[in-house]
Structure 1
């Protein structure tokens, strides 16, 4: 009988991460459903290129507090209630965006802020929760499965949102309203899944104050600053180039199909990001920065391809850009998560995840920055400069190839894998 009870408990806990994954998927959906509608807001609502790119990046303002504060609150009060707040914020954000067709820019900006806060919670708290539920005593999945699961479910949501939005915008009535209502309805079962099926992993709340919780010592780890920080902004910087900048560059060649093309390019970018993640896991090496460097090389190549696209205005070449940058995004996000999971103490995992994703989402401000400069400098010139900076960051990551590999909580000279580091000159 004891064996039967143990088996039942094991089966239940092994599936617990799926509830969190579904919630993260729904929040990711809400965070990216806006992207393919950029052209619709510009063509139908009369917003300028700068306006729509500001709205695209606006949720970074909500995302960063969501990432940093939510992780601390989840350490104190548990993962479940904070993740539930994220789902609710995502639904309210979508409903606010639905009002934007009537209420204007302020409602759109507010909706994007709420969507950003929700994505921040999903990325910091959801990723940490999935990682915890993918380890004993909750699951006996392979090492690194938590990072891969968290990344895949978020990426699937980030891809499904624009796919649905693009289809509705092309074929359904009131697309600037219906898109958001569909997502808000999807959040209802996601909220139930978190509250009813999510297994709490933080049984003992942190005694640290909020200000103390905002301090993340792991963020000063030399491995983090030397290898992860130079790569992180390019995670969503590359994605933003692929599905915000490049589609706008070729939109005049597409006519009425521009919106559906943008949705397809967004989905293609994120699909490549998901499909490449098993390869990313195999590329990862605890003794080097191999996967990080490979992602940065792909990003540089993808941005250079975007330069050629800006010169030729070729929709076909834009597809290659999306595939390159999507693959780079997928390898980068997984390799970064695996790096921080190796250097973080258990109590700092949510906090360092928040810092990591905050840096990653800084890249989403790139389209707004380039749009503001476009009146002075052409896109081919600006993207060439961006490629040069990406190449410099790749060199910086490579310079930390096998450096600063001390394991958390272990004696100096202990590698991530428990082996000894030779202390030679």
Structure 2
């Protein structure tokens, strides 16, 4: 009976992480619509998108430390409410763009708390499974929410009436269900009652193994994803049969859908091989995907470039998911129960730096275009392989 309760609990918590992930990425395929229908400038849309990261990064660190001392459920309950509130504010965006800024900022706050503490909660409820089971489940929940929300928002944005309203309705329904489901889920974590304050950044984040074996490649987790559906999809979207919003959603779905499908295999590889093997595989996929993307971007005369980009999205999705799962498994190996959520948070902070890839590339591309920089990233991914092998062997 206890195992059945535990199983129901991890599923309920994974649904909560899935719902927050959905709320975080539902905005991405709608950028074109906000420019076209509301007359927002490119800089305004970019700023609205970036406010999410401003809320996310510090909350990842603070919420992870707080949940290490006080437990997971007590934090995740208000986080789910906050995620729903963020979407309600997004619905008001057509009235005043300030609501979009506030909604995206609150979505970042909710995501920062959920991805660290929520992932740790899923891991703790999966303690009876093989090594890496909890990390895989948390990563699938996160990636699934990201991917399906992007695909759904792209389809709604292209075909549904009032797309800037109706695109957010699925999250309101899903988030409400997740709130009810996770409210009473078991929380096996025992809060730490000691007088000492947990450090903002766990000591394990300062070890050589983490600094040289994890930190250098961590930004490539979301760097791969954003390269696919933000950079390359935007560069080649003009070839997408006059359906740029739908194409953006499909690119999100293909990228992150490929990531969901590959994650069980990554977990099996991580459990049966040296720690560096899945990471090397992820870096290789990232390097190949970025090299292929650079080649397509440099070939404007190639017929059907938008279709050729789909297998590149699969490669980058495999790179994203492999690095995400392998990174969470490595964090699990390097941390203990008192600092696990905190180290997960540090990993996600580093990983989310990759979301700045489109904006960094845009600035660097003012002279010479984006192709040399995309190709350069492919080279960087390849050069990180021997470094990772040395540090994690």
Same fold, judged at TM 0.5 (above) = yes
The answer to which of 73-82 and 356-365 deviates more is 73-82
**Contact kept? 1:265, 1:322, Cα under 8 Å:** yes
Matched, 1:155 2:155: no
Structure 2 distance, partners of 1:48, 1:395, is 43
- Show the 5 A alignment for 1:211-226: 212-226=198-212
Give the aligned partner of residue 354 of structure 1: 345
Q: Deviations over 1:238-283 (max 9, x none)?
A: 1000011111111222253111111011100001101111221233
**Contact kept? 1:302, 1:324, Cα under 8 Å:** yes
Give the aligned partner of residue 277 of structure 2: 290
Give the aligned partner of residue 159 of structure 2: 171
**Contact kept? 2:266, 2:322, Cα under 8 Å:** yes
Matched, 1:276 2:269: no
Deviation at 1:120, TM superposition (A): 1.5
Deviation at 1:372, TM superposition (A): 3.0
Larger of the two Rg values belongs to structure: 1
Give the aligned partner of residue 247 of structure 1: 233
**Contact kept? 2:290, 2:316, Cα under 8 Å:** yes
2:383 to 392, 395, 409: 392
Structure 2 distance, partners of 1:219, 1:238, is 23
Structure 2 distance, partners of 1:353, 1:116, is 16
Cα gap change, 1:57/1:387 in structure 2, threshold over 3 Å: closer, same or farther? Answer: farther
The answer to which of 217-226 and 382-391 deviates more is 382-391
Cα gap change, 1:273/1:207 in structure 2, threshold over 3 Å: closer, same or farther? Answer: same
Deviation at 1:117, TM superposition (A): 1.6
Structure 2 distance, partners of 1:293, 1:310, is 26
Matched, 1:16 2:2: no
Structure 2 distance, partners of 1:392, 1:322, is 21
Number of equivalenced pairs: 388
Give the aligned partner of residue 298 of structure 2: 311
Q: Deviations over 1:212-262 (max 9, x none)?
A: 331301101222112111121000001000011111111222253111111
Structure 1 distance, partners of 2:370, 2:43, is 14
Give the aligned partner of residue 227 of structure 1: 213
Q: Deviations over 1:320-351 (max 9, x none)?
A: 22011000111110100111101101111000
- Show the 5 A alignment for 1:6-405: 8-104=1-97, 106-135=98-127, 140-196=128-184, 198-207=185-194, 212-284=198-270, 287-313=274-300, 314-402=305-393
State the 4+ residue runs in structure 1 displaced beyond 6 angstroms.
Answer: none
Per the alignment, in what secondary structure is the counterpart of residue 252 of structure 1?
Answer: helix
**Contact kept? 1:93, 1:111, Cα under 8 Å:** yes
The answer to which of 356-365 and 12-21 deviates more is 12-21
Is there any run of 5+ residues in structure 2 with no aligned partner, and where?
Answer: none
Structure 2 distance, partners of 1:141, 1:401, is 24
Relative to the length of structure 1, the TM-score reads 0.87
Structure 1 distance, partners of 2:384, 2:171, is 37
Is there any run of 5+ residues in structure 1 with no aligned partner, and where?
Answer: 1-7, 403-425
Cα gap change, 1:10/1:320 in structure 2, threshold over 3 Å: closer, same or farther? Answer: closer
The answer to which of 278-287 and 155-164 deviates more is 278-287
Q: Deviations over 1:166-187 (max 9, x none)?
A: 1211221111122223312321
Per the alignment, in what secondary structure is the counterpart of residue 231 of structure 1?
Answer: coil
Structure 1 distance, partners of 2:4, 2:52, is 38
Structure 1 distance, partners of 2:375, 2:195, is 46
Deviation at 1:50, TM superposition (A): 4.2
Cα gap change, 1:117/1:107 in structure 2, threshold over 3 Å: closer, same or farther? Answer: same
Relative to the length of structure 2, the TM-score reads 0.94
**Contact kept? 1:231, 1:292, Cα under 8 Å:** no
The answer to which of 303-312 and 376-385 deviates more is 376-385
Deviation at 1:209, TM superposition (A): 5.7
Per the alignment, in what secondary structure is the counterpart of residue 129 of structure 2?
Answer: coil
**Contact kept? 1:127, 1:147, Cα under 8 Å:** yes
Structure 1 distance, partners of 2:131, 2:318, is 22
Deviation at 1:366, TM superposition (A): 1.0
Structure 1 distance, partners of 2:210, 2:273, is 13
